[in-house]
Structure 1
Amino acid sequence: MQMLQHPIPSGFGPKTTAEEALGATDLSGKLAIVTGGYAGLGLETVRVLVKAGATVVIPARDVEKARAALDGMPRIEIGSLDLADPASIDAFARDFVASGRAVDLLINNAGVMATPLSHDARGYERQFATNHLGHFQLAGRLWPSLLKSGKARVIALSSGGHRFAGVDFDDPNYQRRAYDAWKAYGQAKTANALFAVGLDKRGQDRGVRAFSVHPGVIMTELTRYVSLEDMQAIGFRDAEGNLTPFLLDRMKTVEQGAATTIWCATSPQLDGMGGLYCEDCDVSPALPADSKELYGVSPWAIDPNDAERLWALSEELTGVSAPRRRSAPTMPG
C-alpha cells in the first residue's frame, strides 16, 4: 500500500466546483485529450479546460452528438473512437501521434455502468473492455505523445463502486462465472484505479504521472442501464421511487462532480505525487479491507502487486506492451 495514500489535506471539499478547483491556473499552450468529453462530467471537464486556455481533443463514439454538444467552444477537436473497438483506438492514436504534438493531459473519462452481460468481438466483458482495456490501449498508443510533454498527467475515472469487487484475474470476462452487473462494474472501476498505480510506476521518472478519481454521486447518462429496482436495492431510491436522504446528502452537481478530475489534472499541490486515488479534491484515505466506510479507497484498488498483475493481463488481452525501462522510447504493439 502506498505511503502517500492519505489526505494532504488540500483545503477543498465535496462541494468544490471544477472552476474553483482550477483556480487561476492558466492552461494556454496545453493540450488535453478527454474521452467522453461531450456529455455529463466529461463535457464540464472540457468546458473548464477550454476556459483556462487549453486545446482539447475529444475522441467520440458518436461524432455528430459530440459536435452538437461542443458547438461554439474554441480550441476543440473531435475525432472518431470507440473504446470497445481496438482498430478505432489504434487509428485515432496513430493519427494523433503522427501530428507530432504532445499530450499534457489524458483524461480517461468515458465509461459504462452496470450494463447487461455482453462481450465484444474478442470475448471480453463489456464493462471491463470499455472502462479499462480501451483506455489502457489508448494510453499505450499515445505513450510517445505523453513523453513529449515532459510533464504529463493521466487521470483515470474510477468510482466508489470499486468496493463492489476487485479484479478476478482467473475470469475477468465472465466466461465461466455467473454475471453480476454491479460486481462487473466494481471490477472495472478497481481496474481503473490499479491502472493509475501501474502507469505512474512506469512514467514517474519520465515526466508522466497518473491518478485515479472518484467523482462522487452524480446523476448523468451513466445511469441509463440502472433500473429502478437496482436503485432501490442499493438504497438510492425509496419504495415510491424517490431519491433517498442517503443519496441526497451525497449528491453532487455536475460542476462539483468534475472538480476532482480538474484538481488531479492541474493542481500544483500534487506535483511530485502519483499513483493515488482521489475524491472530493483531495487524496483519499486508505481503508482496511473490512471497512464499511463510504469515503476512501479499498486496499485491492491500490495494491501494487495487483497493479502489476493487471498490467500483465492487459498487455496480453490488448497486445499493447508497456515500457519496461527508462530507455524504452514507446509502448509498441
Structure 2
Amino acid sequence: MAAADQKPLGSGFHAKSEPHEILAGIDLTGKTAIVTGGYSGIGLETTRALVGAGATVIVPVRDPAKAEENLSTIEGDVSSAKMDLANLDSVRSFASSVYDSIETLDLLINNAGTMACPLDRVGSGWESQFGINHMGHFALTKALLPLLEKAGAPRVVALSSVAHKRNGILWDDIQFEHSEYDKWVAYAQAKSANALFANALSRRMQSFGGRSFSVHPGGIFTPLQRHLPQAEQIALGWLGAGGEVSEAAKPMFKTTTQGCTTTLWAATSALLDDMPGVYCEDCDVAQLAGEKSLPYQHCAPHITVDADAERLWEISETLLAAA
C-alpha cells in the first residue's frame, strides 16, 4: 500500500451506521469466520451480525462461562473453543482444533485486545499489550493461513485504533526492557503494530486472492476500559464528574453495534477489492492525517510505510520462532 491510498472512497456509510445497513443484501451462507474476542463488546456484535448474515462463526474464548452466557443470545451457527492470546500453546491448540472442524476459512477478525494495562509480561517476556494485541494474533493468523488460502477471496481484519497516532513501533526497545513503561505509549505501539501487520499480511495473501485490512472501530465503552479508573476517564474527558458519558464525548462515542460496523464493512465491501492493506474508519478508508486532522480521526503516515511493515513482520517471525 502507499500513503496515497489512504483516502475515503465514498462508501455511502458513516460513523454511526448500523450492522443491518452494512450487510444489507450480503449473503454469507456457506462462509466460515473466526472472531477473536467475539463474545464481548463489539466482538459480540460482530459475531451476531455475521451469523445473522448466514455465516458460521467460531469464537476463541478466554472465559468459557462468560462466552456461553453471551453467545446464547445469538440464534444461528456459532460455536466457541478455549484460547488465550497471551499463551502461545493455547493459540496453537485452538488452531489445531479448527483444522479438525473446518476445511476453509473465509474471514478472520482479529478483534480481541487489551488497553492501557499495567506492565506485565507474556510469551517470552514480551510486553503484554504488544504480546496480546499483536503477537498473539500474529501467531494465530500464521497458523490459520493454509485454511485462508483454501477459501475464495478470504479476508483478515485487524482491529487497530486511532491511538496509533501517538507513536509507532519503538524499534530499539519494543518490550520496554530499557525504558520506563508508559501504558499509553505501549498501547499506541500495539495498535500501530496491528495496522502494519495488516499491511504486510496483505502482500502475503495476494497470491491466492486474499486481502487484509486494519480498522479503527471508534470510541466505544466496552470491557476494553477495564484497566482505566473512573477518575482517569474523567480526566481524559470521556466521562463527566458523575461518571456519565461527557457531553464532549457523546458526539465521538458509538454504541457497540455501531462500533462493529467498520469491521463488517472491511470484511465484506467490494469497494476494497483493489485496496489491500489500507486502514479504515467510520465504514470507509481513512484519510491520511494532516495538520487539520482532529486527534481522534485519520491515519498517521507511519502505518503506511511498507518497509516498516516488513521490518515488523521479520521481527515478529523471529520472536515467534524463539517462543
User: What's the offset of the Cα at 1:103?
Assistant: 0.6
Aligned mate of 1:285, from 280, 284, 287: 287
User: What's the offset of the Cα at 1:57?
Assistant: 0.4
Structure 1, 242-251 or 198-207: larger mean CA deviation = 242-251
Aligned mate of 2:235, from 233, 256, 261: 233
Distance, in Å, in 2 between the alignment partners of 1:30 and 1:145 is 12
Structure 2 matches for 1:126-275, cutoff 5 A?
A: 126-239=128-241, 241-275=243-277
When residues 290 and 12 of structure 1 are mapped into structure 2, their CA distance, relative to the original with a 3 A threshold, is closer
- In structure 2, what residue type is equivalent to 1:84? A
Distance, in Å, in 2 between the alignment partners of 1:288 and 1:227 is 32
Offset from partner CA, 1:157-204 (integer Å, 9 cap, x none): 001111122111111111111011111111111111111000001112
Structure 1, 209-218 or 199-208: larger mean CA deviation = 199-208
User: What's the offset of the Cα at 1:8?
Assistant: 0.3
3-state SS in 2 of match to 1:246: coil
User: What's the offset of the Cα at 1:267?
Assistant: 1.3
Query: How many residues of Structure 1 are paired with residues of Structure 2 in the alignment?
Result: 321
Q: Are 2:297 and 1:295 aligned? A: yes
User: What's the offset of the Cα at 1:94?
Assistant: 1.8
Partner of 2:9: 8
Q: Any unmatched runs of 5+ in structure 1?
A: 321-332
Distance, in Å, in 1 between the alignment partners of 2:146 and 2:99 is 7
When residues 170 and 25 of structure 1 are mapped into structure 2, their CA distance, relative to the original with a 3 A threshold, is same
Structure 1, 243-252 or 184-193: larger mean CA deviation = 243-252
Distance, in Å, in 1 between the alignment partners of 2:173 and 2:292 is 23
Distance, in Å, in 1 between the alignment partners of 2:100 and 2:154 is 18
- TM-score between the two structures when normalised by the length of structure 1: 0.92
Stretches (4+) displaced over 4 A: 238-242, 288-293
3-state SS in 1 of match to 2:124: coil
Q: Any unmatched runs of 5+ in structure 2?
A: none
Distance, in Å, in 2 between the alignment partners of 1:169 and 1:218 is 30
Partner of 1:26: 27
Offset from partner CA, 1:132-157 (integer Å, 9 cap, x none): 10000000000100000031000000
3-state SS in 2 of match to 1:101: coil
User: What's the offset of the Cα at 1:76?
Assistant: 1.1
- In structure 2, what residue type is equivalent to 1:64? A
Distance, in Å, in 2 between the alignment partners of 1:87 and 1:165 is 30
Distance, in Å, in 2 between the alignment partners of 1:166 and 1:19 is 35
| Identity %, equivalent residues | 46
Distance, in Å, in 2 between the alignment partners of 1:154 and 1:7 is 20
Conserved 8 A contact 2:289-2:298? yes
Conserved 8 A contact 1:19-1:259? no
- In structure 2, what residue type is equivalent to 1:23? A
3-state SS in 2 of match to 1:29: coil
Partner of 1:68: 69
Partner of 1:50: 51
Partner of 1:312: 314
- In structure 2, what residue type is equivalent to 1:131? N
When residues 121 and 258 of structure 1 are mapped into structure 2, their CA distance, relative to the original with a 3 A threshold, is closer
Q: Are 2:82 and 1:77 aligned? A: no
Aligned mate of 2:113, from 111, 114, 117: 111
- TM-score between the two structures when normalised by the length of structure 2: 0.95
Indicate the RMSD between aligned Cα atoms, in angstroms.
1.8
